[in-house]
Amino acid sequence: MIKPFIGGMTWGWTGIRGTWGNEETIRSMQLMAQRLNVNWTAVTFAAMQEHPQATKIAYKEAPTVTDQEVRHAIGEAKRLGLKVVLKPVVNCADGIWRAHINFFDHDVPCEPKWSDWFASYTDFMLHYAAIAEETGCEMLCIGCEMVQTDRRESEWRALIRKVRAVYSGLITYNCDKYQEDHVNWWDAVDVISSSGYYPVNDWERQLDRIEAVVRRHRKPFFFMEAGCPSRQGSDALPNDWGLAGDPDEQVQQTYLETMFGACDSREWVGGFMLWDWPAQLYPENQASSNDDYCMFGKSGEHVVKRYYTQKTREHEEANG
């Protein structure tokens, strides 16, 4: 188990260049800390490649937030007493989910290649690894839900070795839901993490499956993403952010209570980095009509604060 418990929230998705350095973003992070009693946050943003078979990641260009904005967000989190996971993510500009980034297993002339993509991705990740080191981030997430890349074990191991040459903190990889037992290089990272978007009635079965992975690798584990939209039907498909359904705070509240309850009896679950708290919050008086993952102003907010406060108290009592 990670010590202390990670009571975290993802902040800033999806950051757009020029939007992270104002008073509104500072207020957003302050409210996150106050309302949820978090002790960690994941400063999270995206860089773009044109499509799933493109081999250039344009992280120095808009819409990616600037390095100054990233440093500002980390600094604000530190000022609030939070530990930070820096989480740079690659997205495809054409809207195809990053899990579908994929190339031929064997190089073919005139076709895009894994070697070209990993060269660009390594450059991208080393850039932010240096910022994570400079700013004292406690953890770096080197990838998120990149399912088709997971099989490229040698490339990931090479990337991790290069990251360790410039970054001294903890390294994790955020595999996608249902993929925890399909990554063969967990031994190369410090912490196993995954996206816990499991149906509300399936948590126990999925935790049994994940536990076998954690026990086998003897690594700390936490959910780098987890949560549920406040929308009717989302408790059965919490990863489907586009699901049709009316706003419903109770769906989110019950989901969070069920998830926390199931995980609380598993001592190997080291915490959560819930999804997600945007840099620009909706007006609180409109919370009941918001059907997204953020729980600002909703009944789920109280569930999170109560659980995180409980876990913090348990840690303090256990450590005198």
Q: What is the pLDDT of residues 52-104, one digit of tens each?
A: 999 999 999 999 999 999 999 999 999 999 999 999 999 999 999 999 999 99
pLDDT of residue 124: 98
List domains and CATH numbers for the chain.
6-318 (3.20.20.80)
Residue 118 near residue 154 (C-beta atoms within 8 A):
no
Q: Is residue 3 very low, low, confident or very high in pLDDT (cuts 50, 70, 90)?
A: confident
The pLDDT tens digits of the residues spanning 250-275 come to: 999 999 999 999 999 999 999 999 99
Q: For residues 265 and 15, what is the distance between their CA atoms, to the nearest angstrom?
A: 35
Can you state the angle between helices 249-264 and 299-318, rounded to 10 degrees?
A: 20
Of residues 242 and 51, more confidently modeled: 51
Task: Give the burial class of 313: count Cβ atoms within 10 A of its Cβ; 0-12 exposed, 13-18 middle, 19 or more buried.
Answer: exposed
pLDDT of residue 160: 98
Q: For residues 80 and 61, what is the distance between their CA atoms, to the nearest angstrom?
A: 29
Alpha carbons within 13 angstroms on the beta-carbon side of residue 27 total 10
Three-class SS state of 296: coil
Q: Is residue 159 very low, low, confident or very high in pLDDT (cuts 50, 70, 90)?
A: very high
Q: What is the mean pLDDT of the segment spanning 151-175?
A: 98
Q: Is residue 315 very low, low, confident or very high in pLDDT (cuts 50, 70, 90)?
A: confident
What pTM value is reported for the model? 0.97
Residue 175 near residue 184 (C-beta atoms within 8 A):
no
The pLDDT tens digits of the residues spanning 182-235 come to: 999 999 999 999 999 999 999 999 999 999 999 999 999 999 999 999 999 999
Average pLDDT across the chain, whole number? 96
CA 234-209-89 angle, 5° bins = 60
Q: For residues 176 and 197, what is the distance between their CA atoms, to the nearest angstrom?
A: 9
Q: Is residue 320 very low, low, confident or very high in pLDDT (cuts 50, 70, 90)?
A: low
pLDDT of residue 1: 52
Residues in the chain: 320
pLDDT higher than threshold 90 for residue 15: no
pLDDT of residue 2: 67
Q: What is the mean pLDDT of the segment spanning 291-306?
A: 98
pLDDT higher than threshold 70 for residue 12: yes
